[in-house]
């Protein structure tokens, strides 16, 4: 094909982030082959991802083998907090990258002891925008929103919430003190995350944690039997 001024047109028709798609599919096949249920945990900074996982690792220790991959821009503070549980924890320090991608996760998985855990939590970088676009090869996406963040988080960051399989409303013990309008939050979640289950909990008091554990056990039983992955990842229609 030719174009004006001595230039010519090259037809490319290549999907962007296709590299991420290759890695995420490799990851998912590896997780499936090893019977490892993988959850991508997403939220803004400070919504309580690490506290939730600390409590989960402690409460479920001895009943199921768990592991964590934790992404942060800098520091290994979160990894050190989580390591006290005895579960294997691999830290990814992304330097200045605002999200985890499937290749980073693949490298981190190779640092985990074998066999892989029965449940692997991937604590993403605290960010409600960029991580939404990157499929890591997970089976479920879990989005956290804390009662202190305001009820409109789901409608301000609809892409992330619309791809969630579960929304955990965290810090429920201080909902009243934070002036949290529960009805409004639930309406917003219904609009932004119509496919997601919603559980309200407090990792500090333990309220609601049993529902989260039931959800996890249920997902473990259902693993591989539903189409969880169909809404994943921008650019991979």
Partner 1 sequence: MHELSIMENILEIAARHAQASEAAKIHRISLRIGEMSGVSLEALEFAFDVLSKDTMAEGAELVVETVPARCTCEACGTTYEPSDILAGCPSCGGYRSTLLQGRELELVSMEVS
Query: Rounded distance, CA 223 to CA 213, Å?
Result: 15
Choosing from 22, 77, 190, 210, the residue that interacts with partner 1 (CB under 8 A) is 190
Site membership for partner 1, residue 11 (CB under 8 A): yes
3-state SS of 172-224 is HHHCCCCCCCHHHHHHHHHHHCCCCEEEECCCCCCCCHHHHHHHHHHHHHHCC
- Contact between 99 and partner 1 by CB under 8 A: the answer reads yes
With CB under 8 A as the contact rule, the residue among 120, 192, 209, 216 that binds partner 1 is 192
Q: Does 130 bind partner 1 (CB under 8 A)?
A: yes
**Sheet of 89-93: strands edge to edge?**
89-93, 66-72, 119-123, 37-42, 140-146, 166-170, 197-200
The first and second tokens of residue 67, run together, are 């592991």
Residue 46 interacts with partner 1 (CB under 8 A): yes or no:
no
Nearer to partner 1, 85 or 127 (CB): 127
Does 15 contact partner 1 by CB under 8 A? yes
Q: How far apart are CA 105 and CA 138, in angstroms?
A: 10
Rule CB under 8 A: which of 16-45 touch partner 1? Answer: 16-19
Name which of 6 and 62 has its Cβ closer to partner 1. 6
Q: How far apart are CB 156 and partner 1 at their closest, in Å? A: 10
- Minimum gap (Å) between residue 196 Cβ and partner 1: 11
Q: Which of 214, 182, 204, 162 is nearest to 50 (CA)?
A: 204
Toward partner 1, which CB reaches closer, 103 or 112? 103
Phi first, then psi, for residue 40 (nearest 5°) are -95, 115
- Which residues would be at the binding site for partner 1 (CB under 8 A)? 3, 5-19, 97-99, 101, 129-130, 132-134, 155, 158-159, 162, 190-192, 194-195, 231, 233-237
């Amino acid at each position: 094909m030719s174009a004006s001024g001595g230039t010519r047109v090259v037809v490319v028709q290549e999907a962007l982030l296709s590299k991420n798609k290759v890695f995420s599919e490799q990851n998912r096949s590896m997780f499936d082959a090893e019977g490892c249920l993988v959850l991508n945990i997403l939220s803004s900074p400070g919504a309580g991802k690490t506290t939730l996982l600390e409590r989960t690792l402690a409460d479920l220790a001895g009943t199921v083998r768990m592991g964590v991959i934790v992404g942060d821009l800098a520091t290994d503070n979160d990894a050190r907090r989580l390591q006290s549980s005895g579960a294997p924890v691999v830290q990814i320090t992304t330097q200045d990258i605002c999200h985890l991608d499937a290749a980073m996760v693949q490298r981190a998985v190779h640092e985990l002891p074998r066999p892989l855990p029965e449940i692997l939590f991937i604590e993403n970088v605290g960010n409600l925008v960029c991580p939404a676009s990157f499929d890591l090869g997970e089976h479920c996406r879990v989005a956290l929103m804390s009662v202190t963040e305001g009820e409109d988080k789901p409608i301000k960051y609809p892409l992330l919430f619309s791809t969630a399989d579960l929304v955990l409303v965290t810090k429920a013990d201080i909902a009243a003190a934070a002036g949290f309008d529960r009805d409004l939050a639930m309406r917003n979640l219904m609009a932004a995350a119509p496919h997601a289950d919603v559980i309200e909990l407090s990792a500090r008091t333990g309220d609601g944690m049993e529902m989260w554990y039931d959800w996890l056990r249920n997902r473990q039983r259902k693993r591989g039997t539903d189409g969880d992955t169909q809404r994943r990842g921008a650019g991979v229609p």
